[in-house]
């Protein structure tokens, strides 16, 4: 029988105090404490079970060398096994021999209980009496655990409980710090995305309406004095475009979609765009009953708007077509014209570059693709496909 009273060695407490004051890493702390107890006390194994209060279970969180693989894999309900009994009652337990005859004992294969004869189990509690876990020590030979042994182990458990709480608090603060940093990054990204969205909306909506308004006013000015009826019609169209531009400016300011989409739907929105293109007959082919998610609907509308604006600026076309249909599991939008042909790969101005860029960005945001390609027989086709 090994010598009793080995746990009253002050070197054990000194080692434990040094350890708990030198690290805030919970895994390192628990591993170190188990190792120190084994080394300083002459025990053969030490296991640290931490309480998971949310689930009312004890989880093996630290173990002496040779049992590393069991850490995180062994759990006991409060009240189950010797450690569970100690956790439920808040007082130590000692088994000197013949563990299997003790009704509190539960055999755990990962911890190889058959190799050990005696054990002592003490609660790890803070000064305020809050249970943090249970500390178990085992010896291969029979050992009498004296009251002094249990007192020292309980003191060690109290030191560990405070250290564990500090380590957990530190980990929580670190996690929250990372979360705050991530939130700040995400917030900046969202704000930047929103700025880009508003810039796109202003470019694709208000500026395009104003450009069309300018075309109509120029045409009306040319008609004055020789075709007053046409001039009046042009002025009326310009007025309507001015009202629409104002509506879209308000919508952009408030982060809203183009009002026509919510008021009349996507197909009606296509017809509205078709009527806004001066000097070009635009036909619309789309099923009004076609179901389209709101965010995809907005991309379809804006890409069509940009494509029509490019037709007005560059194609010299007098006819154009907007087509939207479902093919298998994809929506396919085509905006085609009978103009001068495929747009050169190099943009001719910053505005052209921005327009093409916004179309691609809108396609990317909804998982789609956009291509600009020559149309058979002459002209250009903008082809936008997106999963439906």
Which residue has better confidence, 1 or 308? 308
For the chain, percent helix, then strand, then coil, each to nearest 5?
55, 20, 25
**Average pLDDT of the segment spanning 161-187:** 68
Give the pLDDT confidence score for residue 113 in this predicted structure: 92
pLDDT in tens, 226-249: 887 888 887 888 878 877 777 777
Q: Is the pLDDT of residue 255 over 70?
A: no
- State which of 136, 154, 180 marks the end of a domain: 180
Confidence of residue 4 (pLDDT cuts 50, 70, 90): very low
C-beta atoms surrounding 352 within 10 Å: 16
Q: Number of folded domains in the chain? A: 2
Q: Is the pLDDT of residue 196 over 60?
A: yes
Q: Is the pLDDT of residue 128 over 60?
A: yes
Let me know if residue 198 belongs to a domain: no
Q: Which two tokens stand for residue 145?
A: 């655990």
- State which of 180, 214, 246 marks the end of a domain: 180
pLDDT in tens, 73-127: 999 999 999 999 999 999 999 999 999 999 999 999 999 999 999 999 999 888 8
Nearest-angstrom CA–CA distance, 26 and 191: 37
Q: Is the pLDDT of residue 183 over 60?
A: no
pLDDT in tens, 146-166: 888 888 888 887 877 777 777
Give the pLDDT confidence score for residue 129 in this predicted structure: 85
Confidence of residue 22 (pLDDT cuts 50, 70, 90): low
pLDDT above 70 coverage of the chain, percent: 81
147 and 292 fall within a common domain:
no
Identify the weakest region by mean pLDDT among 66-70, 186-190, 230-234, 320-324.
186-190
Give the pLDDT confidence score for residue 96 in this predicted structure: 93
24 and 143 fall within a common domain:
yes
173 and 272 fall within a common domain:
no
Contacts of 264 (CB under 8 A, 6+ apart): 272
149 closest CA partner among 276, 24, 40: 40
Enclosing domain of residue 28: 6-180
Let me know if residue 339 belongs to a domain: yes
Give the pLDDT confidence score for residue 101 in this predicted structure: 92
Give the pLDDT confidence score for residue 336 in this predicted structure: 92
**Average pLDDT of the segment spanning 319-338:** 92
273 and 176 fall within a common domain:
no
- HSE-CB of 279 using CA atoms within 13 angstroms: 19
Let me know if residue 31 belongs to a domain: yes
pTM comes to 0.45
pLDDT in tens, 276-309: 888 889 999 998 888 888 888 988 998 999 899 8
21 and 144 fall within a common domain:
yes
Give the pLDDT confidence score for residue 107 in this predicted structure: 94
Total residues belonging to the chain:
388
Confidence of residue 332 (pLDDT cuts 50, 70, 90): very high
C-beta atoms surrounding 52 within 10 Å: 14
143 and 278 fall within a common domain:
no
Task: Identify the CATH number of the domain in which residue 33 sits.
Answer: 3.30.450.40
Give the pLDDT confidence score for residue 346 in this predicted structure: 46
Torsion 58-161-152-45 (CA) sign: positive
Which residue has better confidence, 46 or 353? 46
Cβ(365)–Cβ(324) below 8 Å? no
Q: Is the pLDDT of residue 343 over 60?
A: no
CA dihedral of residues 295, 297, 303, 308 (deg, nearest 10): -150
Give the pLDDT confidence score for residue 233 in this predicted structure: 84
**Average pLDDT of the segment spanning 181-209:** 68
Contacts of 137 (CB under 8 A, 6+ apart): 37, 38, 41, 43, 45, 46, 119, 120, 121, 153
Alpha-helical (H) ranges within 50-135 are 81-89
Q: Which two tokens stand for residue 88?
A: 């439920």
162 and 262 fall within a common domain:
no
Angle at 249 between CA 244 and CA 250, to 5 degrees: 100
Let me know if residue 220 belongs to a domain: no
- State which of 128, 155, 180 marks the end of a domain: 180
User: Over the chain, what is the mean pLDDT?
Assistant: 81
Cβ(339)–Cβ(311) below 8 Å? yes
Task: Identify the CATH number of the domain in which residue 374 sits.
Answer: 3.30.565.10
Nearest-angstrom CA–CA distance, 194 and 165: 42
For 144, 157, 199, 388, the CA distances from 207, given in Å and listed in that order, are: 89, 71, 10, 30
Give the pLDDT confidence score for residue 344 in this predicted structure: 46
264 and 350 fall within a common domain:
yes
Let me know if residue 53 belongs to a domain: yes
Give the pLDDT confidence score for residue 224 in this predicted structure: 80
């Amino acid at each position: 029988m090994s010598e009793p009273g080995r746990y009253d060695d002050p070197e054990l407490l000194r080692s434990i105090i040094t350890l708990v004051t030198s690290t805030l890493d919970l895994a390192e702390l628990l591993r170190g404490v188990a190792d120190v107890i084994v080394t300083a006390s002459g025990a053969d194994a030490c296991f640290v079970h931490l309480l998971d209060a949310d689930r009312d279970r004890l989880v093996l969180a630290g173990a002496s060398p040779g049992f590393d693989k069991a850490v995180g894999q062994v759990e006991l309900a409060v009240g189950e096994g010797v450690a569970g009994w100690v956790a439920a009652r808040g007082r130590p337990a000692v088994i000197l021999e013949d563990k299997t005859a003790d009704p509190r004992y539960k055999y755990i294969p990962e911890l190889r209980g058959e190799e050990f004869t005696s054990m002592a189990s003490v609660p790890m509690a803070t000064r305020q009496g809050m249970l943090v876990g249970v500390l178990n020590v085992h010896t291969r030979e029979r050992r009498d655990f004296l009251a002094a042994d249990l007192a020292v182990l309980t003191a060690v458990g109290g030191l560990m409980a405070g250290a564990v709480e500090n380590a957990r608090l530190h980990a929580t603060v670190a996690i929250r710090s990372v979360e705050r940093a991530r939130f700040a990054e995400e917030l900046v990204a969202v704000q930047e995305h929103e700025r880009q969205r508003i810039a796109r909306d202003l470019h694709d909506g208000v500026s395009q309406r104003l450009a069309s308004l300018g075309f109509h006013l120029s045409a009306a000015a040319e008609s004055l004095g020789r075709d007053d009826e046409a001039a009046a019609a042009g002025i009326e169209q310009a007025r309507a475009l001015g009202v629409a531009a104002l509506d879209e400016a308000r919508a952009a300011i408030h982060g809203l979609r183009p009002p026509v989409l919510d008021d009349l739907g996507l197909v009606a929105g296509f017809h509205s765009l078709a009527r806004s293109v001066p000097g070009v007959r635009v036909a619309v082919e789309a099923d009004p009953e076609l179901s389209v998610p709101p965010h995809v609907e907005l991309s379809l509308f804006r890409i069509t708007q940009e494509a029509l604006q490019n037709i007005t600026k560059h194609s010299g076309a007098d006819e154009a077509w907007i087509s939207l249909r479902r093919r298998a599991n994809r929506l396919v939008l085509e905006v085609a014209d009978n103009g001068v042909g495929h747009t050169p790969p190099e943009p001719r101005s910053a505005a052209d570059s921005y327009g093409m860029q916004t179309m691609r960005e809108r396609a990317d945001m909804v998982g789609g693709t956009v291509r600009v390609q020559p149309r058979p027989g002459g002209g250009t086709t903008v082809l936008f496909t997106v999963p439906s």
